[in-house]
Amino acid sequence: MTGDLFSPQCPTRTLLDRIGTKWMSMAVKVLAETGELRFTDLRRRMPGVSQKMLSVTLQNLVADGLAARRVEDTVPPRVHYRLTELGESLEVPLAALREWAEANVAEIVQARGRST
């Protein structure tokens, strides 16, 4: 039922809201490109993200079943993240959106310039 998409209660809508989150798509991209990564490495590859926002983002990914968390029981503990199959399947439409953005960003920046 596509019509439900318009209901505020529609879970698809809440899902899209979460995917649209600032760091979500970036984390998915990085994980899709690199496979399994540790928290700190992940952070290094996502310039501008704070520890808190990265951990919140990762918690959301894990809660949604898009990523898996694995703790190595060393001291200090090392925490690894990787995409699940579901997460990898999300990367496909997400990549399409990124490609669209890269292809059209020039035109849009131009449009913004005109409107200011």
Partner DNA sequence: TGACCTGGTCACCTTTGGTTACCGAGGGAG
Partner DNA sequence: CTCCCTCGGTAACCAAAGGTGACCAGGTCA
- Give residues in contact with its own copies (CB under 8 A): 2, 5-8, 11-13, 15-17, 19-22, 25-26, 29, 45-48, 62-66, 86, 89-90, 92-94, 96-102, 104-105, 107-112, 114-115
Q: Which does 34 bind (CB under 5 to 8 A by kind): its own copies, DNA, none?
A: none
Q: Which does 3 bind (CB under 5 to 8 A by kind): its own copies, DNA, none?
A: none
φ/ψ (deg, to 5) at 106: -60, -45
Partners of residue 111 on adjacent β-strands: none
Q: Residue 46 and residue 113: Cα distance in Å, rounded?
A: 28
Q: Which does 78 bind (CB under 5 to 8 A by kind): its own copies, DNA, none?
A: DNA
Interactions with DNA, residue window 37-66 (CB under 7 A) = 38-40, 48-53, 55-56, 58-59
- Given the DSSP bridges, would you call strands 78-83 and 67-72 parallel, antiparallel or unpaired? antiparallel
Residue 18 has a CB neighbour count (10 Å cut-off) of 15
| Residue 71: DSSP 8-state | E
- Token readout for 10 is 């529609």
Report the interface residues with DNA, using CB under 7 A: 21-23, 38-40, 48-53, 55-56, 58-59, 69, 71, 75-79
